[in-house]
Structure formats: C-alpha cells, structure tokens
Amino acid sequence: MPHDGEWAATTKGEATAARIRAVALDQFSQLGFERVTMAGIAKAARVSQPALHYHFEDKAHLWRSAMLGLRAVIQEEERLIEAAADAPPLTQLRVAMRLFLQISWKHPALGRIVALEGMAGGERLEWLDRHLLGARNRRLAAIAGEAIAAGDLLPYPPEQIVVTLQTAAVGVINLAPLMRTTFDCDVAADRAIHDEMILEAVLGGFLTEKGRRAREETQ
C-alpha cells in the first residue's frame, strides 16, 4: 500500500522512495516542474518509470513529497531562530541570515524552487507558502519590523527588506550557471567571501548609525 502521506519503517520500498525523492528534488530545482520528466527521474534513480507511480500517485504528489524532505531543514531553522528570541531583534536577524546562507549552500534546491514558483504563482507557490515557508518569512518580517522600531534598521517595508535580503543572499548561488557562462567563475569556490559580503555589505547596508554601533559592540 504505497503513496501515502507518511512512510513505513525502513523497508525496501522506503529506500527506493527516498532515492526517487532525492533525484526528484534535484531535478525539479534545476529545471522546474515542467522540464522534468518522470522517465528522466526514473532513469537517474535506476528504476522503471511505473515504479514512480507505484510510490507516488502522480507527478504533483512526487513534487510535494520531495519538498517535504526540506521541511525538517526549515523547522530546524525556525527552532534556532526562536532560540534567539530573547536577543535584540538585530541579533536575531543576523542569526537568521547566517542560517539562511548555511541552508542555501547545503540545499541549493530550496532557493531555486522558491525563485521558480515565486515568480510563476499558482498552486505550488500556495503549497510552499502554507507548508514550508510562509510562517518563517512572516516571522522574519516581524523581526525586521522590531529592529526598525528599535532604531537599528532603516525604516523600509519589512517584507521588502526580508525578501531583498534573501534574494541577494541566494543570487549568485541560484545563478551559478550564469556566473559561469558570463564570467567563467565558480561561485562555490569563494563561499566564505560571499557570505561575508552578504552579512557585511548587504545586511550592513540596512543598518542605521545606531545599528552599526551596536554591531561593533556585539562582535
């Protein structure tokens, strides 16, 4: 009895289902939903194409199931952000951005999928909002709002700040193929420099005078 929400123990079936999910996540994030074929996933996962329909009802279910593999990652992120809830809002934001960068390097699929579906709209975006990202993003916007109220962050719309910070952070990661084509450079090579750039220059650019002084004291 396959394609159900939750999965049985470590049976043979779950092993291949996991392999399929991993391949699917990879392909969906690189190519987008439509460019990916069930046959292509099947081949990469070394199973026949009907095996996919055995484990997952259809292509949409497979997509969602693959996304759910990232839910643990996001939940852990949310947990770590909440753990800093007593710190000043600006510190929380910095923590959140560090986590965001970490996740973006470790799971580049996530940022690409958000970009793909966030531009197109539709039911997959709604699903992502409801089951994966909405809560976290609204939480971050609230923190940004607090940081503004505290006088540490420039008073721009918190939602715009959050999304701008995030898109800046994943920009060169998502656009790795473009970086190679246009500049012939490998992004992953200087990850440390990149992360410092995002934290210092981009996040730093949103700080007020007061926020900048606070930063120097804290570090």
Partner DNA sequence: CCAATTTCTGATTACAAAATCAGAAAAGCT
Partner DNA sequence: AGCTTTTCTGATTTTGTAATCAGAAATTGG
Which residues of this protein are in contact with a second copy, per CB under 8 A?
Answer: 30-35, 112, 114-122, 125-126, 129, 133-134, 137-138, 141, 154, 156-157, 159-161, 163-164, 166-168, 170-172, 174-183, 185, 187, 190, 193-194, 196-198, 200-206
Q: Decide: 153 and 161 in contact? Cβ < 8 Å.
A: yes
Return the number of the residue (123 or 209) whose C-beta is nearest DNA.
123
- Please, what is the minimum distance in Å from the beta carbon of residue 38 to DNA? 3
Mask 15-54, x = binds DNA (CB under 7 A)?
Answer: xxx------------------xxxx-------xxxxx-xx
Residue 22 interacts with which of DNA, a second copy, none, CB < 5 to 8 Å by class: none
Tokens, residue 127? 């699903």
* Residue 21 burial (CB count, 10 A): 22
In three-state secondary structure terms, 207 is strand
Taking the C-alpha atoms of residue 204 and residue 38, their distance in angstroms, rounded to an integer, is 44
Q: Write out the DSSP string of 102-151.
A: HHHHH-HHHHHHHHHHHHH-SHHHHHHIIIIIHHHHHHHHHHHHHHHHTT
Site residues for DNA per CB under 7 A: 1-2, 8, 11-17, 36-39, 47-51, 53-55, 57-60
